[in-house]
Chains A and B, each alone.
Chain A
């Protein structure tokens, strides 16, 4: 049935476009922003950590 063949080709094309979009965006972001900024994240903090400090939970 031709319908399934068209669907298969459409799946390949949409996949290719999505992956291409991801790659182009990643490359442009890597060029536009400083590498030090991109890798600057630290392990998170949370509200409960503030509570710990307020309550003197960290000794």
Chain B
């Protein structure tokens, strides 16, 4: 059924506003991720040393470059909210779609909780620095989630315009730190020759560091969720996504270069706010303020993008009856998935109140990783079922099937790395998704109207 015939049958149909441009797409993807440059990536240094973290930075950068290319091609043909969930529904099938939708909702909601927790902890740190010890982070955690949920509720244009401004500030803060470190005069401030060491735990340490290398880029695939609200998704999504991964590759490399030139790996591997620490070591008060604000903005931008993406994934599942249709509602004035936004607020607050930042982040990373594994299989099937001469793409990624195979291989390596450090978490998360799948097959799928969920005007797939 095409959109035109649908509209003819039911003229009173509401849809999301198409108001976004490639800059918003960039802000959505980079905004979710950039907090990982300000904190988190440095745990890879504890596992593999400074050089191990650099290898992880570039190897995982390759993984996400594959993700960005594959996502750009598939999403340029699927102008629908839901991102990878919608791709899975069209290309693989209902059970995979349900799981991918759940991966997305869990990954983004967990990340949102962790981001809000970071904002709360930063406020507590500021209070402690001004002489007030023991400030509870909870009111600031709730305020962060409540304000960003309100912003998301009121409309996507303002939400992602705010994200663009604060993400750009955070990115420029990294550039300012790099310039402030006087990179043209090695040995003046940056002391790589003194601080860089051999691999402290050998190559197994490098493998173990891959898990934390994901912090540099986790969430760039979130650009796909804007597909239904962006003008000309076929062009804007690839532009925003590829621009986003290039930005992150630059930011990640600069982050590693500055931090490892200022701090020994033993300290850097356990630092809570490594870039702020770097600014403190340089000793420029203005730079310290910029990095503090950058850290705060990066966490807020990430939470903001996560609310946007988790709500759209949940909304899409409701629209297709994978979840109750009540969640598939759009606000008639603001044109946002308002019930999905509301439903996910208490879940994010609950995760944040546990205070278990590392467990919450691990769940988020593993959910993301499961999604990337799906994407490699998805891409192979997409090219097989709808070859290049059958359906036009806004972007065609080069060297197929090499990116899909590289992505699959790197995902396997990261699973192994995760098993080394968080084996119990990995197995419990797998068990959670298996139980959820059993619930979907036995209880939920009976409510899905199979014909209604495919409204894209695609040709019949080859072989069907």
Binding site for B on A (CB under 8 A): 1, 3-4, 8-9, 11-12, 14-16, 18-19, 21-23, 25-26, 29-30, 33, 35, 37-49, 51-53, 55, 57-59
Contacts and interface: CB of A to CB of B under 8 A. Distances in A.
B319 interface: yes
A22 B153 CA distance: 8
Contact of A58 (B233, B329, B457): B457
Interface residues of B, number: 64
A45 B233 CA distance: 9
A43 B458 CA distance: 12
7 contacts: A11-B140, A12-B142, A18-B146, A33-B332, A37-B332, A47-B231, A48-B234
B345 A29 contact: no
A1 B130 CA distance: 9
The B interface, classified by DSSP as helix, strand, loop or mixed, is: loop
B14 A49 contact: no
A23 to B, nearest CB: 7
B234 A46 contact: yes
B146 A19 contact: yes
A15 B332 contact: no
Given A26-B342, A37-B332, A52-B392, A42 B12 contact: no
Contacts of A21: 150
Given A4-B127, A8-B135, A26-B338, A42 B232 contact: no
Nearest to B6: A42
Given A12-B139, A38-B14, 18 more contacts: A1-B127, A9-B139, A11-B139, A14-B146, A14-B147, A15-B146, A18-B150, A26-B338, A29-B338, A38-B330, A39-B325, A41-B14, A41-B319, A41-B330, A42-B15, A45-B457, A46-B232, A48-B234
A12 B144 CA distance: 11
A2 B132 CA distance: 9
Nearest to B394: A48
Contacts of A42: 3, 6, 13, 15, 455
- In the A-B complex, the 8 residue pairs with the closest CB atoms: A48-B234, A46-B79, A11-B139, A43-B80, A38-B329, A44-B228, A15-B146, A57-B392
